[in-house]
Every structure is written in structure tokens, then in C-alpha cells.
Chain A
Amino acid sequence: MKLTTYAQNLYDLNVLKDQGYNEVILEAKSLSRFGKLSREDFILLSNRSKELGLRVLMEWDILMTEDVFGSKIKEVQELLPYADALRVQDTGALNWGITYSGKPLQFIAENGNHNLKALQGWVDLANGKMERIILSIELSKNTIEEYAKKLTVPCELLGLGRILLFYTPRPLLSALMPEKIAQNQELAATGESEESPHKGFPIVENQHGTFMFHIKEFCLVEFARDLEKSGLAFFRIDQRWEKPSRLVEISQLTKEFQSEAFEKLKHDYSQDLMRGFYLVNKTDILFPKLKNSRLQKREGHYVGEVLESEKGSHLAIMVKNPKGLKVTDILKILHPKGEVFETKIYSLKNVALEDVNEVPAGELAIIQFVGGVWVKSQVFYHHEIS
């Protein structure tokens, strides 16, 4: 497993060389979400990288509407000769890369892409030009292992760095400033909400929009060896917001893990660290609780819903089943709180209060009152319910 990371200046490149890196991610300010490099600096760092034997990965990871996309192509074309591979997240940039770049492609599949079919699909669409897939940090270890083994191109995963929670092109911080600020000025703040137990979300606004990060950083350094065994090819260290000197410590820890050194790193690190969903992802476990399953209709034997329950007088049921409702039908009525009531219809009226033998679907049926039944109770044919 190889390490990969970003460089923002010549000093960073020397550190990478010393630490045995083979490649470096360079970000031009106008093409990358958090890029700092001018066009000239990009070229300078690219040339120096090559002198040091580092492969240059050009990151073009902003999302772009058509006009923005059109305005970036010239710069992409100018910088591409200085890069060995192109990293993209916008699916338009991916297609442009496939069609026009002539460079190997790395697709940042960090949003969604939580199934093998999708990931291999991107590889296949690239017609042999995809050289790497960057996996989502929401995947758990077994899934990462499966993908690393089954995908036909090598995989990369974030090993340590900020967790991006939110990305909008809208300028949200400058909107709150009393004075008009210079366009493209970078702003930073931290945020907390009484409605969330988490305090101190880092927020950044720059020329590409506004970004919010998790209060903790993502860290799988302690699992680096396991990931290597599982077939992960690239482990990314993102220290763009940390002291440059820390990269040495982290790179060494990743290559040769030591508990004490790791504890010291955690202690000294500017943010708390978390492993996210690495052990297990249960982010769908709460879904059944988001709605009352007792209000969910069932197939086939569902009659309709109680729209009125008038104590001592009647129940009014909106009949929805094409079979309609007949005198002598036996019903099971499911209260929203779960209690079940049974009744045999002996009084059936239509909406005009006429005694009838049958009420068809789409009409209101008025039957005798059944104690305990409330509005929104769901009605079923008794004989079909198990």
C-alpha cells in the first residue's frame, strides 16, 4: 500500500521525497476546492516533483455548472501537460477526461457509490482510462476489502484528514459580514447548533463556495496494516489544515504502527479523531422508526381508513379497496397505537345516510361505532388477515 498526499509548497515536496512517497496531489486554486496554487506555482511544483521522482496527480475536484465548466477548460488544458494523471469528482470532468485529456484518470467516488456495481460501472465507462477509484469513507472494512479485491483498478481511501460534510457553491459566510468583502477572499469560522450535540464545525468559504467539516477528523492510521492486507492500494494523508511537520510523524506511523506514538499523535492533534463507519455502517438502522408502521397499509386485504369516530354513534370509513364494503363483512381495525379491534358490520350507510348493502371503493361507509377506534385507524378484511 502506497501513501499519497497533497503538497502546497516546495518544502512539502522535500518532505514527501524524504518519507518515500512516489506521488503527490497538486491543486490549482481555480480548479480544486481547497487549492492554493496559482498557475505558475502549479507548474513550479510539478517540475520540482518530477525532479524528485514524484508522480504528479492533478486534482480538479470542484463541481461545475456548464458556464463554470466552460471557463475552466483552458486552464485544465494548460496545466494537464504538467500532470501524470487527472483526479476528478464531477461526472462531467470525468467524461471530459475520458474524451479529451489523454491522461490516466482517478475518479473521486467519495459521495455515494456504495455498491460494487456502480464503482465498476465508472471504471467500465472510462474505456480503459481509469487508473484508480477513490472510495467513500462511509464504507466499512469488509466492504473495502471486497472492493479492493474485485474492482479491476486499484483503490484509494482517506487515511487521515478532515471529513467534508457539506458543499455548496453559495457564499454563506460573507453573506453574514456587515462589510462587503473582496470577492474570492477566503473566510473561516466555526459553527455550533443547540439542535446538535456537536460543537465547533469548521466552516470555510472560498471562491468555489462554502464547505463545512466534521468537528473530528477521520483517522484509520491504526488500521493501515489491515487495509494493506485487504488489498487497498493507496492510503491518503490529508494534512492541508495541519502543521506541515506532522506529515513526517503520520507517514512513519502508517508505515510502522506504534501504539504509544499513535496515542501521542491523538493527544497533540488539533482535532479529535474518529474512525467513522470503518467498523460498521448502520446509518439505515433508524429508518423503520421514522414512521409509524401501524399506519402503513398492507397489500390485498386493506379496506381503508377511519376518517371519523363519533363515540356512541358511528365510524366513517373511506373505502379504498375495489371490493368495497358489505353488510356482514367482518373487519379488523388497527389502531395507530397498535391495538386491534374486530367487528362485524350490522349497520351500513352511505354518505347520504341511506341504509345500503354495499359501499363501493372511493366512497364513505358509515358503520356502527366500535369503542376504542380512533381516526387514522386502518381497516382490513378480517378473513384475509393472518
Chain B
Amino acid sequence: MKVPIKIPEVLAPAGSLDKLKVAVLYGANAVYVGGQKFGLRTAAENFTQDELREGMSFAHERSAKVYVVLNSFLHDKDLAELPDFVRFLDEIGTDAVIVSDLGVVQAVREHSSIQIHISTQASALNIQSALLWKKAGASRIVLGREVSVKEAGKIRREADIEIEMFIHGSMCMAYSGHCVISNFTQGRDSNRGGCAHSCRFEYSLEGLDTQEKKKAYFMSSKDLEGLRILPAFIEEGIDSLKIEGRMKSHLYAGTMSKVYSEALKFYAGHGHFLSDDLLKWEEELGKVSHRAYTQASLVEKAGAESIFNERENSSEDEWQMVGPVIDASPKAGIVIEVRNAFNQGDELEILPFSGDVIKVFAHEIMDLTMKAVVRTRPSTLVRIPYVEGVQSMYLVRQRSKV
């Protein structure tokens, strides 16, 4: 008898309610979100309580789960405010909370019946650590990004606990939760959401084998990309594949959710990845703003090749988001909220929730009041002629003009 393949969930970041909807509509099986406090993305828009309630309903109606991050290392005064929020999360049906701090684990257990996932911030890296967190009440471990897929499989089997691994996105160079550069140099607690990204700075290094100082972005990591390792994740029984990036764009949330969920669906149907689609999915991942990609430690320990020794420069991105579709109907046309300008005649790519990209030429552009437009401007709404099948919340992109 053929044993059905267990396919991991695709867990996407949702920095706002809109991004939650985008991620779910583009195929994510679960999303992780932050409330106004207790997470590590203080500068992100994050969710109000009304939005959490709405996001929960939106996701659950589409069979997707919602995990709420409570992964700050809380001080006592922060912890005192937590029980009310935890009770609220329980009441609205939160599927799990993501936690780094043992005090938070205990507070969640005392005030709710919500499942507890141990955040990568806790740097749980081995079987014994998983066993200890399990004893503390965790149902899932989000492993540190230093762990290989093979090691993760062993941890899953030996500790008998759900395992979540990062498959895509920006990476801390340090063991997560073990970097306090911002705390001591900028007065901002990186482990309570104040990370100043000092690891992305260029440093002059003195004392290496040369007489001159050597300039390098030596603490900056390339971005993680694990598409080609998907079979290994499946073979090892990894439960959830996480995409980093609550601060990132709608296009990022949508593209990542779509690519990884389509790839996993393909595997579920075919039992392999020997497909031209693999190249297509890789091309899609390349169309979203990113640093050079690395598999980091997913297969072998990350070495020198995993360092992104370059200045950050998003203006060199080959593709850019034009904007989301606000409305689409034969009567209204395709209404786009313009985030990056495009011109009459430009080729646009509309990313559907599933299936192939829809390519259109913007031969005719009108403003909201139906006046013709030659060149669009950011922060405006424009209409292009309706194309069958295009829906509200599809995302539109184009090749950068740089």
C-alpha cells in the first residue's frame, strides 16, 4: 500500500492584516503575526486586537492557521501585562503562540490553552534542548538556523515533537537571541524588538594578516533559500517550513507563499521535483528583493560563502512591485494602487493566487476619474483595462527601469 506523503505546512510572515490576506490567498497554510506588543518587530505595523480577530476569521475560513509571536525576552514589567493579551488570544481561537522566554511559556500555560511553539530566538539546536522545552510545555520547536535538515529530522524523531524550520529569508548571523550589539551600542534591546541591524554595517578590521585595515560587511549573512532542498525537508518529516519577513512587502509575502505552496503541491502530486517548474519557481524567487541566496546550514555548516560581503542596495533589484489590485471588474477595470510608477506601454506581470503569471501591456491607463494617463505616479490609483480572471488583491510587478 502506498504511504501518503506528509507535506509540511508553508508558514508565511504577515506584518499587517493586508499581508495576512495576501499570504493566505497565495497559498500559505499558516501565517505568523504580531500584536502591538511582545514581538520582535517593534517597527512593523502589527495587528490591533480588532485586526487579530478579523485575521483569525479570514485565515480559519480558508483552513489556514494563525500563530501569534510573543517572542520577546520579556522583563518583569512586560510580563505583568501579558495575561490579558494571552486570554484574548485564546478567546479568538489563536492556533499557537511563538515564544522564546520560559517566563512567557509559563504565563501562556497559566492563562490559556493555546499551543506553544518555541521561537528560533531560544536557539534550540538539539534533541536534549527539544526534550527540555517539551517538558516545559511546548508542542513545537522552531529550530535555530544553524541546524541542518538531517539533524532536524533526528530531533523530530528522538524528541517526538513538531519541528519547524526556516526555509527562506533574511538571517541573523549570530545565534538568534545571542546578539546584544544594539542593546549595548544603541540602547535598543534587540531581544525586545529594537534590533538596529548592526550586523549589516561595513566594518574596518585591523589585526588580520595585512598591514592595512580591511573593510568588509563581515557579519552580514546572505539570505536563506531552500527550494531545492524541499525533498529533504519532506523526507525528514519536518512539520512546518517558515518564511522570514514580517517587515517585508506584500509582493514578498505573496510570492513566497505561492512559490513554496505550489512546489509542495507539485511534490504531493508527483512524488518528485523533476520539473521545469523548478526553474520557474526559482525565477519567481529571484523576482523579489533579496540579498544573494545561500542554503546556509540546511545541508552543510555555513562557511565563508554564506557571508554577504556587499552594501545593501535594493535599487539594483531587477523587479519591482507596481502595486496591489484594489478592484477588478469589467465595469471598473483593473484598479491598481500605484506603489512604483509605470508608463503607458509598459509590460506588467499580474501574479494570480495560483497558476501562471498574467502578462499585460498597459496600452491604456486612466486615473480614477477616467482621464487618460501617460505616466503614473506613486500613491495614486489608476485603471487599466479589465483582463478576465484578475481579482482584487492580486499583485502587479514589472521589470525595474534601472
Contacts and interface: CB of A to CB of B under 8 A. Distances in A.
Q: Are A and B part of the same complex?
A: yes
B178 A92 contact: no
Interface in A97-123: 98-99, 111-119, 121-122
Contacts of B79: 115, 117
B209 to A, nearest CB: 6
Contact of A66 (B73, B135, B154, B303): B154
B359 interface: no
Contacts of B123: 63, 90-91
Contacts of B214: 176
Contact of A192 (B42, B45, B100, B203): B203
Contact of B194 (A64, A164, A290, A310): A290
A121 B136 contact: yes
A289 B111 CA distance: 31
Given A117-B106, A187-B208, A192-B204, A284 B369 contact: no
Interface in B20-76: 36, 42-45, 48-51, 73-76
A366 B368 contact: yes
Contacts of B221: 170
A297 interface: yes
Interface residues of B, number: 103
Contact of B368 (A94, A122, A308): A308
Nearest to B208: A189
Nearest to A138: B183
A340 B148 CA distance: 53
B102 A63 contact: no
Nearest to B221: A170
A384 interface: no
B209 A178 contact: yes
A173 B368 contact: no
A115 B381 contact: no
A27 B42 CA distance: 38
Given A203-B205, A353-B369, A117 B51 contact: no
A113 B307 contact: no
Nearest to A146: B76
Nearest to B130: A92
A66 B165 CA distance: 14
B184 A163 contact: yes
A42 interface: no
A197 B101 CA distance: 31
A268 interface: no
Contacts of A86: none
Contacts of B36: 296
Contacts of A363: 327
A98 B131 CA distance: 11
A176 B180 CA distance: 24
Interface string B325-342: 011010110010100000
Contact of A112 (B44, B100, B379): B100
Contacts, number: 291
A281 B106 CA distance: 24
Contacts of B76: 114-117, 143
Interface string A85-96: 000001111111
A40 interface: no
Contacts of A116: 76, 103
Interface stretch (B89-97, B169-177, B258-266, B279-287): B169-177
Contacts of B362: none
A286 B187 contact: yes
Interface stretch (A46-54, A235-243, A299-307): A299-307
Given A111-B177, A189-B205, A174 B198 contact: no
B164 interface: no
A125 B133 CA distance: 10
B219 interface: yes
B177 A112 contact: yes
Nearest to B74: A115
Contact of A307 (B48, B125, B326): B326
A170 B179 contact: no
Contact of B381 (A93, A98, A316): A316
Contacts of B203: 191-193, 201
A91 B201 contact: no
Given A95-B128, A314-B368, A67 B102 contact: no
A303 to B, nearest CB: 12
A299 B218 contact: no
11 contacts: A64-B126, A69-B127, A166-B179, A168-B174, A179-B209, A189-B206, A189-B207, A284-B194, A316-B368, A351-B326, A352-B329
Given A90-B125, A111-B177, A188-B207, 6 more contacts: A69-B126, A69-B127, A111-B191, A170-B307, A194-B201, A285-B187
Q: 9 shortest A-B CB distances, which residue pairs?
A: A112-B73, A175-B304, A118-B103, A92-B128, A117-B103, A92-B129, A283-B189, A95-B132, A66-B151
